[in-house]
Amino acid sequence: MRSILILVALAGVWLADPATSVQAQSIPPWQERQLEAARKSDAIMREASRHTGMLAQFQFMRDAYFSSRNPTFRVIFRQYLSWYQTFIGDYDDAASMFSIAQRALPDDRPSPLDDPAWSAQPALTAIPQLAKGYRAVFFNEAHNIPLTRTVTVQLLAKLRAEGFDYFAAETVYQTDTKLQSRGYPTGNSGFYTEEPIAAEMVRTALKLGYKVIGYDALSDATGDEREAEQARNIYRQVFKSDPNAKLVVDAGYAHILEEGDFQGGMSMAEHLYKLTHLDVLTVEQTMLYGHPAASDDHPYYTPVMDRLHPKEPLVFISKSGQPWSLRPGYDVSVWFPPQTLRRGRPTWLDLGGERMPYYVSGEPCNRHYPCLVEARYAGEGDDAIPADRMVLDPVPLNALSSERVVTDSKVPFGELYLRPGTYRVVYCDENNATLFSQNVTIKGHSPRPPRSQPRAATAGPVATLVRGDVAQPSVDQGN
């Protein structure tokens, strides 16, 4: 990761991207304050990376956030903290910490409910059909909402069957030259791949026989220059050496925009078109999902959910076979059903039934809390990013170390989501010392977890946090 982060001004709020740097120019004082907050945020993240173990890194980030009363720093740093919350499997807090509100925009297309020509279809069956005839399919994601990675993970096998043979992920470091031969991502493979669903995406592509590449800019380029460098990296590693290649791309937010302004220039996808003249199927996944606050949802979202009550991600297709997208520049938009929780964890972690919940109790923690539980595939090394991980703790994870007051002695518990197979399940304390380990085997497929539980329902012990949390404002767009 580079030492300074780019900040993109959108709707009056700057958003950080951990892949690039920023060149300070003549800017207003409020922007300079945000740039300084970003520099501080970046320094804190570098310091966090020096701690051993993901739990210790998260705690360092958390304490830095909640110890500060600087509102500008908090606005910037909450995005950084949300990434680490996903890394430890704390998906609900990550979504609440950094929420991108989806407002109606003038160029939004009419809701598909307004025209009977549009019909809802399962995304997992419709997108492979749409991909027929294309040489490239681009998916985007919201980096702190791993829900937006789940469709991509599930579609890799179907796209492989259609002849797609390269998988390019923005997060993958080009410096990890052993990734392909090793067969699984490690902490040196990428940034967002520290999160288990992102790691599962890369791992799945490797297992299916894709050639996996990283393509992000290696220079300090920003804006249009960075997008152009990304496109050149893809072209060099894929189409220049293999003119008949078929490519799947995972990228953040508007990097896959096919046309229209991108930070005053062009997106990676548009730059790549200039190099290849290949038409791309672009799948937008960052706008139509349920936010922690319903007021952040796009106005179309609730009416579609209330009418259709979907149990799996949807797309809309016309009677003539054309896909619907919310905005120009994308071919098709994915709608995700409202999140439900089971034992405090989102059930979308089952990846459409491919993974099953495995119960874990806090007893092996031996009252050493917080306690990190990780499950790694038995055939992978100890350096592998886990298939799933979570933290067991009777105190809310966002409590400062100095404010941990347990008022209930019940043992915490939860569930990991795992594919059939054999795993090493390891319990570690905050110093990354192993408290307990065992091999477990997940056999066959069991019924999918119930999806009817209200989102706010959780199971487990009750604890008191001696601190009042401050509600955080949301922002309008991401990069």
The CATH classification number of 343-465 equals: 2.60.40
With tokens 């009419």, the residue in question is 110
Q: For the chain, list residues with pLDDT below 50.
A: 1-14, 18-24, 446-479
Q: What is the pLDDT of residue 220?
A: 87
Residues of the chain with CATH 2.60.40: 343-465
Task: Spell 422-437 as b/e; 16+ CB within 10 A means b.
Answer: ebbbbbbbbeeeebee
* pLDDT (0 to 100) of residue 76: 96
Q: What is the pLDDT of residue 405?
A: 62
Please state, in angstroms and rounded to a whole number, the distance separating the CA atoms of residues 338 and 326.
Answer: 18
pLDDT confidence of residue 410 = 86
Q: What is residue 397's predicted lDDT score, i.e. its pLDDT?
A: 85
pLDDT at 385: 98
Return phi, psi of residue 61, to 5°: -65, -45
What pLDDT does 19 receive? 45
Please state which of the four CATH numbers 3.30.70, 3.40.50, 3.30.420, 2.60.40 is assigned to the domain occupying 112-333.
3.40.50
pLDDT of residue 445: 58
Handedness of CA 16, 17, 22, 25 (dihedral sign): negative
Structure tokens at 302: 């609730």
Segments of the chain assigned to CATH 3.40.50: 112-333
Q: pLDDT at position 398, please?
A: 81
pLDDT of residue 2: 41
Question: Taken in order 268, 270, 272, 275, is the CA torsion positive or negative?
Answer: negative
Give the model's pLDDT for residue 27: 75
Q: Report the C-alpha gap between 444 and 451 in whole angstroms.
A: 20
- By the 8 A CB rule, do 269 and 282 touch? yes
Q: Are 139 and 285 in contact (CB under 8 A)?
A: yes
Report pLDDT for 325: 98
425 φψ region: left (φ > 0), alpha (ψ -120 to 50), beta (else): beta
Structure confidence at residue 280 (pLDDT): 97
pLDDT at residue number 424: 98
Distances (CA, A) of 277 to 149, 166, 271, 459: 27, 18, 10, 53
Of 415, 414, 434, 418, which is closest to residue 426 (Cα–Cα)?
434
Amino acid 9: pLDDT: 36
